[in-house]
Amino acid sequence: MGGRKSPTMTAAERQYRRGHWLTYAFLAVVCLCQILPFYLAVTTSLKPADDMSPSLVFRTHDLAWDNWSKAVEEGQILRSVLNSVVVTVGTTLLVCVLGAAAAYPLARRLTRCNRFVSGFILSMMMIPPLSILVPLYSFMVKIGGVNNYWGIILILTATNLPLSIFLYTAFIKAIPSAIDEAGEIDGANKLQVFGRLILPMLKPVTATVAIMTGSTVWNDYALSSYILTDPNSQTIAPRVASFFSANTNNLGIAAAASLLAAAPIVVAYMFLQRYFIAGMVAGAVK
């Protein structure tokens, strides 16, 4: 009698396990929805142009591996990938450095002016970049930023900087100000305190900002297609779009180009995933 579980406990355990199974089933459906597009892209990229079979069916015979080589040669995908790497790395570095440097005084000096600046920066996140495309393009033409790396890097840095400052400010506010005071007692100035004490603590949020900024810049189509009109300077998103429209009769080559475009950012996310999750969790808790 003593070792037998009560009916109430048995019902509670049964309900608890049922909830777990429902959670696992929901996560399985989410994973399937995420994996299915990649599976369809892979199967389509390996099909010959005259193969009209459903993309859900994967056939191991008669695989068209030449679709990948044609995507590289005819679509100039590697050139566009190199352009995207330059633009993404340059923009991400500027966003991380400028965002952290701007967030430190905003988080440490809670003055009325800084509160106004923080609110203004937050309001900039609500403005769609395409709403100012016409004056922005006219300005870039005047300063010679069209079809130049530095032109699109400046634009993408300005559009991604408000979110970076917001995340860095929230993270730095959670760091005790006693660390700053201890550094100043030891004779360090504000710049040294920020560079030697605060900056090393910002690794989780920096990884979060880097992944969010990098994925946004890598997948940017609208701004890049207007600022970088030269085919030799096009980034990956406009290049894949133009290549896809030119090869609608051969979806295999277009699918191969799309997979080549997505591969670098997926690999980068796999390496930075744990830092990204740590930064998001730390920001939510703090």
* 33: containing domain: 1-64
pTM for this predicted structure: 0.77
Q: Return the pLDDT at 177.
A: 84
- Among 198, 22, 7, smallest CA distance to 105 is for 198
Task: Please state the domain count of the chain.
Answer: 2
Cα separation values, 196 from 26, 64, 190, Å: 45, 54, 10
Q: Which two tokens stand for residue 13?
A: 């355990």
Residue corresponding to tokens 């993309």: 55
Q: Are residues 2 and 127 in the same domain?
A: no
Q: State the pLDDT at residue 1.
A: 44
Considering Cα of 123, then 125, then 127, then 133, what sign does the dihedral take? positive
Inter-residue contact 100 to 283 (CB < 8 Å): no
Is residue 57 within 8 Å of 179, Cβ to Cβ? no
CATH number, domain containing residue 166: 1.10.3720.10
Whether residue 84 sits in one domain with residue 55: no
Give the residue ranges of the chain where pLDDT is below 50. 1-3, 5-7, 283-286
For residue 126, what are the contacts with CB-CB under 8 A and spacing of at least 6? none
Assess whether 244 and 126 both reside in one domain.
yes
Structure confidence by residue, pLDDT tens digits, 94-128: 999 999 999 988 888 888 888 888 888 888 888 88
124 contacts: CB under 8 Å, gap ≥ 6: 162
Distance separating alpha carbons of residues 110 and 54, to the nearest angstrom? 60
Do 155 and 200 lie in one domain? The reply is yes
User: Could you say which of 13, 40, 64 is where a domain stops?
Assistant: 64
Q: Do 173 and 81 sit in the same domain of this protein? A: yes
